[in-house]
Chain A
Amino acid sequence: MDIISLFIIVPLLTILVLVFTKGLKQARIISMIGSIIQFGMAINLVFAYFKERAVNDAIMVFTKDVVWYEQFNIHYNIGVDGISVALLLLTTIVVLAGVFISWKMKDLPKEFFISLIVLSIGVYGFFISLDLFMMFVFFEIAVIPMYLLIGIWGSGPKEHSAMKLTLMLMGASAVLLVAILGIYFNSNADGGPLTFNILEIAQVNIPIEAQIIFFPLTFIGFAVIGALFPFHTWSPDGHASAPTAVSMLHAGVLMKLGGYGIFRVAMFLLPEGALYWSWFFIILATIGVIYGAFAAIKQTDLKYINAYSSVSHLSLVLFALLMLNKTAWNGAIIQSLSHGFMTALFFALIGMIYERTHTRDVTKLGGLLKVIPFISVIYVIAGLASLGLPGFSGFIAEMNIFVGAFQHDNMFYRVATIISVSAILVTAVYILRVVGIMLMGPVKNEAYLNLEKVTWYEKTGILLLLIPIVGIGVAPLWLSNMILESLQPFIQGVLQ
């Protein structure tokens, strides 16, 4: 058994055991054990990857290729490079933290954890796939549990949000399906067989006319889940209605599928199309960066603030990917990771605050620093990381993105970059505003004086997310090197 397939098999086994459990206690223990094993596997994978990389300079390592549907040349084809390893690590951490945060899930706990793990299978599978068909399958597997997770365990207008989210994402994947078929039927342009294999298609010169048609379809298909303006509307509603752990996974991991897919499929396989269309999508991404930031200022619901902030941050990822150079791409990947940890941390904290005060309205909260200092301090730290303070992951990411973006000496790119940079300022405004209103000042409500203490499982979940944020910020080089190495073949492919 290769160590990559385990990322699908272990969660499957976890689900199998979960089916036979009864009650919350058994369900959460099993889920915790399963996620800890996955976390261990991810750590192990990082070390194994470095060891393997030293002796193996293929684009993908730990590959495994089994024919699935011979007639269509569909393979079970997996492998990882530095980028997928980093994203897998992110996913395992967020899933584990999510399990800890959902420690007290009272309603249908077994079903909740099963859905959560099905979602994580989709995400793992997506990150390790080297076959377009497989990638698409896992993409949909990751999306569909969201319907149940938000619809059953959510709050507020949950049915509406769940339906909206599912239809928009599945609609996007439908567009993506057309694009994948388009790529597939052009993969024999150089006379080879039709194939879904990403690495093989990358060697083929797909006709430019086809690239121009299918690049926007691929891009939009993936970008909807990456919250591209104007297709981001599912995201704030979905976040606001979702239960805490689901918001964490959703913003922390699921939305990363968009950027990753664009990078792996749209840019890598259709580089000419990317050059042709990049101006158009840069405009959309720039609008998203600014729009998300300004929308966050106006919100009073904590989850909405964070959701719009996610739109802004992830538009920045798309923006960086569209810059088509190494520095910006490096920034895009680090931004994906850093945003994954940060936003998951935010949602975890918001969930904890909500559980205690039963409100997410900023204007009704106040002086929390005095009552729940642990949560408040972490909130400030996460906020500082989010606005890109040096020493945290966000700074490294944004620095790379903007340096990379400014390398273009074209006026259009520079204007777009300057506009995007200004969003950082706006970010500072909405973060500090929340910190000021919610955490400082007098305690607004007597009832808040005796809020519940933070429990051990909450602390564990929080620390799991906080350590990487600081880790990436303080020692970014190992991650950066791992990513840069893996970017090399992609950059070469695109720039040729």
Chain B
Amino acid sequence: MNIGSFLLMRQEILLLAIILLLIICEIFISQNKKSSIIHLAIFLFGIHTIVGFFAIEESEIFGGMFRTNGLIHFFKNVLNIGVLIILLQSADWLQEKIVHENRGTEFFVLLFSSLLGMYFMISSGDFLMFYLGLELSMLPVAALAAYETTQRKSSEAGIKLILSSALASGVSLFGISMLYATTGSIYFNDIIEVITATNLSILGLILFFAGLGFKISLVPFHFWTADVYEGAPISIASYLSVISKGAAIFILMILLFTVLKPLMHIWENIIYVIAVATMFIGNLFALRQQNMKRFLAFSSIAQAGFILLGLIIGNQLGAATVVYFVLVYVFSNLAAFGVVQAISLRTGKEKMSDYEGLYRTNPNLSLVMMLALFSLAGIPPVAGFFGKFFLFTAAASEGYYILVFIAVVNVTISLYYYLLVVRAMFLRQSDTAIPFFKNNLYMRLGLIIAVLGILILGIYSPVYDYIYELSKNIL
């Protein structure tokens, strides 16, 4: 092992450097210029995102504990883009609420630490690294969820998140220990060769799956989701719903498709049942939500149910469609969260009924929201449609027609509640509509990137082809 092989970890090292740099800068920035830390952090992270696009070779270090390949590297970039959009969208909020309390730097440090955890989690080559990454990605977020210290709901969200994720990690660890008991190894490469379907290994699989299910907020592990999203600051809610969920789905996919592949006949049944339950519960609960954050919480539960349709087939096509859908989902969901955040910050309004007549006062925000919702609902020609169509194609390729049928029924249900928001914004007129306001540059940039993603990713097919090529590597 030489210095050069450390470069495989350059994303991690660079992010760590940014974290340390921010801490050092915190000391030297004078009291009345605290807000410059926001510009600095966004600038540094923007560079980090761009640097991430340089290709990386496939290899592993630390005796196989840490590995990387094209798909993992690509997914880290997806996470980077998502975090960058979140940073842009929350700049305003940080400026107004957080910085003057001297807690700006900590926000970035905690957020980046969590992202670092996710890097390690999805790059892990054994269960130890996986578990460390999982913990590192979760603990800082719990602190961030309670970041609005003056709000009781925020503290409540923090406590709920830390308790439920601690439980989930515990369950997951218990499952891992059982897998270790049956196979005698924690290295993925070793486990693949010896794992067989015994009672103990199946129980291990189920417990492990349940632990990750918490993070993805699959039914029946979804109870924390709506409360935490509602209480946490919106940027953290969007982080949880996009980045945290995306990373968990990705590592779950990698593990199921490679390490746990010999147990496929078991986990495909589990996924089938959970997919149906998640889609129905998520959609039916979303129907009656009035608070936009809770609404998006249930919508993102339902979206996770759709993603399982790509997971169930366990091959290259499944991997490609899942990664592509997550990519599209990052842009769509962040566009929706961005609009909610902008409105919440300027007016404090978060109810769906507050959005009535929004188009006539704030046409641009309404259009962004509409595109985002159409993308989430899967209406062409925006990207969400292609993401869903490919997931359904993947499931149908292995003959899961009934499951696809259930999914399309759910798409129709989901269309109803997405249209409720469109109805409020476009069809209704209100005297108490949210008055016109201008967003700052960062927020606009964040929304524009998200909208461009929504508009381009579907029609521009090489993105999918690229992901499909990369997906070869994992199998």
Say whether A58 faces chain B, with CB atoms less than 8 Å apart. no
Instruction: Answer yes or no: B392 CB below 8 A from chain A CBs.
Output: yes
In the complex, the answer to whether A185 meets B408 with C-beta atoms within 8 Å is: no
**Structural contact, A72 and B390, CB atoms closer than 8 A:** yes
Question: Residue among B389, B392, B465 with the most chain A CB within 10 A?
Answer: B389
**Is there contact, CB below 8 Å, between A174 and B427?**
no
- Classify chain A: how many residues form its interface, as a range: 20 to 34
CB-CB < 8 A to B381: which residues of A? 137, 141
* Contact A163 B461, beta carbon cutoff 8 Å: no
Using an 8 Å CB-CB cutoff, how does the interface string of A134-152 with B read, 1 for contact, 0 for none? 0011101100100110011
How does the 8 Å CB contact mask read for B406-434 relative to A, with 1 for contact and 0 for none? 00110110011001001100110000000
Verify A71–B465 contact, CB threshold 8 A.
yes
Asked whether A140 lies within 8 Å of B379 as measured between CB atoms, the reply is: yes
Q: Which one, B385, B404, B416, contacts A181 given CB within 8 A?
A: B404
The residue of chain B having its C-beta at the shortest distance from the C-beta of A214 within the complex is B401
Interface residue? A178 (CB, 8 A) = yes
Interface hub of A71, A133, A159, A162 (most chain B Cβ within 10 A): A71
Residue B436 interfacial (CB < 8 Å): no
Q: Which residues of A contact B404 (CB under 8 A)?
A: 177-178, 181
Query: Which residues of chain A (257-276) have a CB below 8 Å from chain B?
Result: none
Is A490 an interface residue when CB atoms closer than 8 A count as contact?
A: no
Q: A72-B390, A181-B393, A185-B397 are in contact. Are A174 and B416 (CB under 8 A)?
A: no
Asked if A177 and B408 sit within 8 Å, CB to CB, the answer is: yes
- A167 CA to B397 CA in the complex, in Å? 27
Give chain B nearest CB distance to A360 CB in angstroms: 22
Residues in B whose Cβ lies below 8 Å from that of A162: 427
By secondary structure, the A interface counts as: helix
B374: A residues at CB distance < 8 A: 144
Residues of A within 8 A of B274 (CB): none
Known: A69-B461, A72-B390. A181 touches B412 (CB 8 A): no
Closest to B408 in A: A174
Task: State in angstroms the CA–CA spacing of A338 and B337 once bound together.
Answer: 48
The answer to whether A175 and B465 have CB atoms under 8 Å apart is no
A177 → B minimal CB distance (Å): 6
Q: Does A376 reach chain B (CB closer than 8 Å)?
A: no
The answer to the question of B464 belonging to the interface, with a C-beta cut-off of 8 Å to chain A, is: yes
In chain B, positions 448-464 with a C-beta closer than 8 Å to chain A are: 461, 464
A174 to B411, alpha carbons, bound, how many Å? 8
Say whether B280 faces chain A, with CB atoms less than 8 Å apart: no
Q: Which residues of B contact A69 (CB under 8 A)?
A: 461, 464-465
Note all chain B residues with C-beta closer than 8 A to A171.
Answer: 409, 412
With contact pairs A167-B416, A184-B393, A185-B397 given, residues A178 and B408 touching in the complex (Cβ less than 8 Å): yes
Distance, CA A74 to CA B461, complexed state (A): 10
| Choice from B393, B419, B465 contacting A166 with Cβ under 8 Å | B419
Complex Cα distance, B420 from A147, in Å, reads 11
Contact A178 B405, CB 8 Å, known A163-B416, A166-B415: yes
- Is A170 engaged at the interface, CB distance under 8 Å to the other chain? yes
Q: Which residue of A lies closest to B390 (CB)?
A: A72
Q: Measured between alpha carbons, how far is A71 from B389 in the docked complex, in Å?
A: 13
Q: Is B130 an interface residue (CB 8 A)?
A: no
The answer to whether A137 touches B385 (Cβ under 8 A) is yes
Residues of chain A within 8 A of B423, CB atoms compared: 151, 159, 163
Q: How far is the CA of A450 from the CA of B423 in the complex (A)?
A: 39
Q: Which residues of B contact A137 (CB under 8 A)?
A: 380-381, 385
| In contact, B464 and A71 (Cβ under 8 angstroms) | yes
Q: Is A70 an interface residue (CB 8 A)?
A: yes
**Which residues of the other chain, B, contact A177 by a CB distance below 8 angstroms?**
389, 392, 404, 408
A50 at the interface (CB under 8 A from B): no
Question: CB distance A68 to B461 under 8 Å?
Answer: yes
A182 at the interface (CB under 8 A from B): yes
Residues of B within 8 A of A151 (CB): 423, 426-427
Most buried by B among A138, A147, A159, A182: A147
| A175 and B408 contacting across the interface, CB-CB below 8 Å | yes
Q: Which residue in B380, B392, B409, B419 is a CB contact (below 8 Å) of A147?
A: B419
Q: Whole-angstrom distance between the alpha carbons of A390 and B465 in the complex?
A: 57
The reply to whether A182 and B396 form a contact with Cβ atoms under 8 Å apart is yes
> Which chain A residues border B379 with CB–CB below 8 Å?
140, 144, 170
* Minimum CB distance partner of A139 in chain B: B380
A71 x B468 contact (CB < 8 A): yes
A133 contacts across to B, CB distance below 8 A: 389
Q: Which residues of A contact B464 (CB under 8 A)?
A: 69, 71
Residue of B nearest to A140 (CB): B380
State the Cβ distance, B275 to closest chain A Cβ, in Å: 16
For A136, list chain B residues within 8 Å (CB).
380
For the complex formed, measure the closest distance between the CB of B390 and the CB atoms of chain A, giving whole angstroms.
Answer: 7
Identify which of residues 34-71 in chain A touch chain B, using a CB-to-CB cut-off of 8 Å: 68-71
Chain B hits for A144, CB < 8 A: 374, 379
Complex-state Cα separation, A174 to B422, whole angstroms: 20
In chain A between 422 and 439, which residues have their CB closer than 8 angstroms to a CB of chain B?
none
- Tell whether, in the assembled complex, residue B385 and residue A185 are in contact, meaning their CB atoms are under 8 Å apart: no
Q: Which residues of A contact B465 (CB under 8 A)?
A: 69-71
Tell me how far the C-beta of B95 lies from the nearest C-beta in chain A, rounded to whole angstroms: 32
As a 0/1 sequence over residues 370 to 382 of chain B, the CB contacts with chain A under 8 angstroms (1 = contact) are 0000100001110
CA distance A181 to B403 in the complex (A): 13
A148 & B426 in contact (Cβ 8 Å cutoff): yes
Known contacts A151-B427, A167-B412, A174-B411, then 17 further A-B pairs from the complex at CB < 8 Å, ordered by chain A residue? A69-B461, A69-B464, A71-B320, A72-B393, A140-B379, A148-B426, A151-B426, A162-B427, A166-B419, A167-B415, A170-B415, A171-B409, A177-B392, A178-B396, A178-B401, A181-B393, A184-B396
A-B pairs with beta carbons under 8 Å apart, 17 shown: A68-B461, A71-B464, A71-B468, A72-B390, A74-B461, A137-B381, A144-B379, A147-B422, A148-B427, A151-B426, A163-B423, A174-B408, A175-B408, A177-B389, A177-B404, A181-B396, A182-B396
